[in-house]
Structure 1
């Protein structure tokens, strides 16, 4: 099982952006489908303190905004940027 988890909705365009970035970087992660009604997203709320998706958990790092998630992934895992 992957250490990285992505809480998402299949139809969420912001979640799709994050999934594509994870796939582009070749990272292994577990996709966790969440319910559409926000009040039913108890696991997301427990992990991130709020009901919105996407939420990425990478070890002790928890991010809940697609732009922050993508920036984090690029800075930590994108080897192309290191070559400049």
Structure 2
């Protein structure tokens, strides 16, 4: 199953979540703190504190930046 680290109200996060829903891909939504300094879980999995971050264990991929994530989803799940 995929994990999507996201911030409530983040338009980039919502775009990725919407695309996952459109593709019918099961994923776990992991809500993160608004303050960058409190995003230790995101830092642990991705090496940085920005969101969205997608973790796909099946492909061995952890990536940030919505455009890259959308390209990955199109290539592997569309």
Q: TM-score, normalised by structure 2?
A: 0.96
Rounded to whole Å, the distance in 2 between the matches of 1:45 and 1:17 is: 21
Deviations 1:2-30 (CA, angstroms, capped at 9, x unpaired): x2000001110000000011001000000
Given the alignment of the two structures, is residue 76 of structure 1 paired with residue 76 of structure 2, yes or no?
yes
Larger radius of gyration between Structure 1 and Structure 2: 1
Q: Which consecutive residues of structure 2, in runs of 5 or more, have no partner in the other structure?
A: none
Corresponding residue for residue 58 of structure 1 = 56
Corresponding residue for residue 12 of structure 1 = 10
Q: TM-score, normalised by structure 1?
A: 0.89
Q: Which runs of 4+ in 1 moved over 3 A?
A: none
Deviations 1:33-71 (CA, angstroms, capped at 9, x unpaired): 000000100000000000000000000200101000000
Rounded to whole Å, the distance in 2 between the matches of 1:66 and 1:6 is: 11
Root-mean-square deviation (CA, aligned residues, Å) is 0.5
Q: Which consecutive residues of structure 1, in runs of 5 or more, have no partner in the other structure?
A: 79-84
